[in-house]
Amino acid sequence: MGVRILQLSDLHLFADPDGILFGIPTRTLLRDVLAHVEASGLQPDHVVVTGDHTHDELPATYAAVRELLVPYLDRLHVVPGNHDDRAGLRAAFPDCIGGAGPDRCTFAFEADGWLCLGLDTQIPGEVPGRIGEEQLGWVRAQIAERQPRGVILFMHHQPVVLDVAWLDAIGVEDKAALQELLEEEPRIRLVCCGHVHHESTHRVGAADVVTVPSTGLQFSPTSDETEFVAAPPGYRVIELDGDDCRTSVVRLPDVKFAPVQPT
């Protein structure tokens, strides 16, 4: 019996239950995603949210996110995105955060010999992200201490170039430092990110660096300028079985709402 991990990302909820993000009712679609997961019979052993839990960063919105994730609270792990307030996230999810120290919202858990680490890439007040030497040192120390069979990293911002100009301008700034770590540590097999609201896969060292659709608003995977697309919401499933690690994106069957383009 392997381990199943569910990744959700970029929820962008508002305190107003009917709040709309560029034409997309984000709370409605998050409910649809959670219903789809439930109906699929996945029954994940762990659930990771890789940031942008809220769009308005209000305490009431974090409370609403927590309420929707109640079925998974005993196995939930979260890291912030650029659309998150660290203090608000920590206040709403004190039991889902812990690891690298009080200044960042990170997590660490083990599953069948695999080590899963959540990194906090937020630069407060800015859209791009940064990992920083301190967190990279924490990753190295965790691997040295726990000697896992494999490692999965979770973070909001993407540490690779996508060849999508507007998204490449707001990724991880110190991506070279992470890529160096991936080249030197083959036990890191997967890096799961959000932020770009579409699916992509890149290879660095022994790791697949992957992004995931949002549970709400979808971005174009090719346009060099901001463009939203009418694609269904989605989520990522990671399956661990011994030394094997497989992952895939699941999209909901229907596009229920068309986005409105930015002006």
Does position 84 bind Fe ion by CB under 5 A?
Answer: no
Size of the site for Fe ion (CB under 5 A): 2
Nearest-angstrom CA–CA distance, 35 and 64 = 16
Q: Judged by CB, which is closer to Fe ion: 52, or 120?
A: 52
The 10 Å CB-count burial string (b at 16+, else e) for 110-127 is ebeebbbbbbbbbeeeee
Q: Which two tokens stand for residue 163?
A: 């060849």
Q: Considering the complex, what minimum distance in angstroms separates the CB of residue 192 from Fe ion?
A: 14
Query: Which among 7-15, 137-145, 158-166, 203-211 is the span making contact with Fe ion, rule CB under 5 A?
Result: 7-15
Query: Which among 3-11, 26-34, 101-109, 198-206 is the span making contact with Fe ion, rule CB under 5 A?
Result: 3-11
- Of 5, 7, 8, 10, which lies in the binding site for Fe ion, with binding defined by CB under 5 A? 10
Nearest-angstrom CA–CA distance, 243 and 254 = 35
Q: Considering the complex, what minimum distance in angstroms separates the CB of residue 18 from Fe ion?
A: 20
Query: Which among 23-31, 35-43, 44-52, 64-72 is the span making contact with Fe ion, rule CB under 5 A?
Result: 44-52
Nearest-angstrom CA–CA distance, 200 and 162 = 8
Q: Considering the complex, what minimum distance in angstroms separates the CB of residue 110 from Fe ion?
A: 28
Query: Which among 18-26, 47-55, 107-115, 125-133 is the span making contact with Fe ion, rule CB under 5 A?
Result: 47-55
Q: Considering the complex, what minimum distance in angstroms separates the CB of residue 191 from Fe ion?
A: 17
Q: Considering the complex, what minimum distance in angstroms separates the CB of residue 8 from Fe ion?
A: 12
Does position 52 bind Fe ion by CB under 5 A?
Answer: yes
Q: Judged by CB, which is closer to Fe ion: 138, or 228?
A: 228
The letter for the amino acid at 12 is H
Q: Judged by CB, which is closer to Fe ion: 143, or 229?
A: 229
Residues at the contact surface with Fe ion, assessed by CB under 5 A: 10, 52
